[in-house]
């Protein structure tokens, strides 16, 4: 009797998931947490999470929602009041005009991005992503079966230009993912250049996914700009992914949204109906009430931004004084993206080695730039106290000197 041929070894896991990598920023934070649990005095400059508490009035609105019994399922796209509050806020602040039907609630900005990419990108289609990029962008594209095409922006000081986009578009290009203010660099694309970028994409039937989770964190004299405010003939190509996590210090609340044409919004809503269903009902209520409470919400954002600006104005000059460090002044967000390539050599051959050495010897946790597509750089988050930043600078100086 003939023996059956052995089956080739097969994995039980989806090829799309196997193509993905875990989040390098979360991994770095987990290592810092483990060392802290072991008793070490770790200064954590990894995860981009505000060190401020959620403003009390927003917490009060959540309690109000609970007391009103807003604890049931909501429509997949979100409560009517939530969607209306987003549309009203953008109209009031930016002069944009779109319907609440073009808004969909999501469980944080990350799910908003996931929904957008997976409803517009098909297998083999190209997605343009400027480098350095937030670590999750290429992984969502991998899951969708798309092809990542990276645009290196170092020659333009990490600020994407319309001409760079134009030069990389092919007949397979479907989407551009753009993030301004940027994580990890803190750079902000000027509003006129952003409009030109969207115009180039529209001319070539390429869609634009604008990650605006740091939208309101732009330092004076910079101006806040949203792609939701471009003319209608351009906006039909745009999906804005927004979040309350950073600007309102609500990371654990998991609440975000998308703004896109009604057709794209319907597809994202359909996808979400089979995953998370919708964000928490009383959280939607709290966010809607907070946006309606313009005076207090504006004051809360301004207060946090002023504190971040003080930290930035201390940290960046101090980093620039360290021999071998190169870093530009960020215009937004709360990150310093430091070029450490002049310090690499036999002992530390990569930025991962450098970051590991700094953590291992001085217990200062940073994030390796390789996860952002920029080996040779290290990201420092200044979403921490001034005291921690001063202690960190002292330890970094010691480490480099050694």
Annotate 334-370 with three-state secondary structure. Answer: CEEEEECHHHCCCCCCCHHHHHHHHHHHHCEECEEHH
Output the DSSP codes for 67-113. Answer: HTT--S---TT--HHHHHHHHHHHHHHH-----GGGEEEESSHHHHH
pLDDT, mean of residues 356-369: 94
Among the listed residues 314, 333, 296, 339, the one whose alpha carbon sits nearest the alpha carbon of residue 49: 333
Residue 212 shares a structural domain with residue 81: yes
Backbone angles phi, psi at 152, to 5 degrees: -75, 125
As given in the structure block, the two tokens for residue 296 are: 């207090």
Output the DSSP codes for 250-271. Answer: -GGG--EEEE--HHHHHHHHHH
Check pLDDT > 60 for residue 1: no
Residue 105 shares a structural domain with residue 243: yes
Among the listed residues 340, 281, 288, 333, the one whose alpha carbon sits nearest the alpha carbon of residue 311: 333
| Listed residues 241, 265, 293: the one ending a domain | 293
Residue 135 shares a structural domain with residue 97: yes
Backbone angles phi, psi at 327, to 5 degrees: -155, 140
Backbone angles phi, psi at 52, to 5 degrees: -85, 155
CA–CA gap between residue 334 and residue 218 (Å, rounded): 10
Query: Measured at the alpha carbon of residue 160, what is the angle toward residues 157 and 165, in degrees to the nearest 5?
Result: 140
As given in the structure block, the two tokens for residue 293 are: 């409470």
Predicted confidence (pLDDT) per residue in 375-397, tens digit: 999 999 999 999 999 999 999 99
CA–CA gap between residue 380 and residue 392 (Å, rounded): 10
Residue 87 shares a structural domain with residue 170: yes
Predicted confidence (pLDDT) per residue in 253-306, tens digit: 999 999 999 999 999 999 999 999 999 999 999 999 999 999 999 999 999 999
Check pLDDT > 80 for residue 8: no
SS3 151: strand
pLDDT at 6: 59
Q: Are 383 and 51 in contact (CB under 8 A)?
A: yes
Q: Are 164 and 151 in contact (CB under 8 A)?
A: yes
CA–CA gap between residue 177 and residue 128 (Å, rounded): 6
Q: Are 13 and 137 in contact (CB under 8 A)?
A: no
Looking up residue 154, the CATH number of its domain turns out to be: 3.40.640.10
- % of the chain at pLDDT higher than 90: 88
Output the DSSP codes for 290-314. Answer: HHH-HHHHHHHHHHHHHHHHHHHHH
Predicted confidence (pLDDT) per residue in 231-243, tens digit: 999 999 999 999 9
Among the listed residues 77, 74, 100, 78, the one whose alpha carbon sits nearest the alpha carbon of residue 88: 100
Query: In terms of pLDDT, which residue wins out, 315 or 31?
Result: 315
Looking up residue 31, the CATH number of its domain turns out to be: 3.90.1150.10
Residue partners of 292: CB distance under 8 A and separation at least 6 = 85, 88
58 is a domain residue: no
275 is a domain residue: yes
Query: In terms of pLDDT, which residue wins out, 18 or 68?
Result: 68
Q: Residue 36 pairs with which residues in a beta bridge?
A: none
Residue 152 shares a structural domain with residue 165: yes
Neighbours of 306 (CB within 10 A): 11
**Model pTM score:** 0.93
pLDDT at 179: 98
pLDDT at 133: 98
Residue 136 shares a structural domain with residue 176: yes
**Residues spanned by the domain of 394:** 15-53+297-401
- % of the chain at pLDDT higher than 70: 96
Check pLDDT > 90 for residue 322: yes
pLDDT, mean of residues 165-179: 98
Counted domains in the chain: 2
pLDDT, mean of residues 26-30: 71
The distance in angstroms from the start CA to the end CA of the chain is 71
Residue 301 shares a structural domain with residue 279: no
Residue partners of 150: CB distance under 8 A and separation at least 6 = 128, 129, 130, 131, 133, 138, 373
Predicted confidence (pLDDT) per residue in 54-68, tens digit: 999 999 999 999 999
pLDDT at 40: 78
Residue 267 shares a structural domain with residue 348: no
Residue 327 shares a structural domain with residue 283: no
């Amino acid at each position: 009797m003939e023996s059956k041929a052995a089956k080739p070894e097969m994995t039980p896991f989806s090829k799309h998931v196997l193509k993905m990598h875990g989040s390098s920023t979360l991994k770095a934070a987990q290592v810092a947490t483990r060392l802290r649990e072991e008793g070490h005095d770790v200064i954590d400059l990894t995860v981009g999470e505000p060190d401020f508490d959620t403003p009390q009035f927003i917490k009060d609105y959540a309690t109000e929602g609970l007391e009103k019994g807003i604890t049931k399922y909501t429509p997949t796209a979100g409560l009517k009041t939530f969607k209306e509050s987003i549309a009203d806020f953008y109209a009031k602040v930016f002069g944009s005009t779109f319907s609440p039907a073009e808004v969909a609630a999501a469980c944080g900005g990350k799910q908003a991005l996931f929904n957008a990419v997976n409803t517009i990108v098909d297998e083999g289609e190209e997605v343009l992503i400027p480098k350095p990029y937030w670590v999750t962008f290429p992984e969502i594209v991998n899951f969708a079966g798309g092809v990542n095409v990276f645009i290196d922006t170092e020659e333009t000081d990490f600020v994407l230009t319309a001409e760079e986009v134009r030069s990389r578009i092919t007949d397979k290009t479907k989407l551009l993912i753009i993030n301004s203010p940027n994580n990890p660099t803190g750079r902000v694309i000027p509003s006129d250049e952003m409009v030109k970028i969207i115009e180039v994409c529209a001319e070539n039937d390429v869609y634009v996914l604008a990650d605006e989770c740091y939208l309101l964190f732009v330092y004076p004299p910079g101006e806040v700009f949203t792609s939701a405010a471009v003319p209608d003939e351009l906006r039909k190509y745009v999906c804005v992914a927004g979040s309350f996590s950073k600007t309102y210090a609500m990371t654990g609340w998991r609440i975000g949204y998308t703004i896109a044409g009604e057709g794209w919004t319907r597809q994202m809503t359909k996808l979400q109906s089979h995953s998370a269903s919708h964000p928490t009902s009383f959280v939607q209520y709290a966010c809607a009430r907070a946006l309606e409470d313009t005076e207090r919400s504006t004051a809360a954002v301004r207060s946090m931004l002023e504190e971040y600006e003080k930290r930035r104005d201390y940290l960046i000059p101090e980093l620039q004084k360290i021999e071998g460090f190169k870093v530009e002044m960020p215009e937004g967000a709360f990150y310093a993206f430091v070029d450490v390539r002049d310090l690499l050599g036999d002992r530390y051959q990569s930025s991962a080695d450098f970051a590991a050495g700094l953590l291992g010897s001085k217990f200062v946790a940073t994030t390796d730039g390789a996860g952002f597509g920029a080996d040779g750089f290290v990201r420092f988050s200044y979403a921490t106290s001034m005291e921690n930043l001063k202690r960190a600078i002292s330890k970094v100086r010691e480490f480099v000197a050694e």
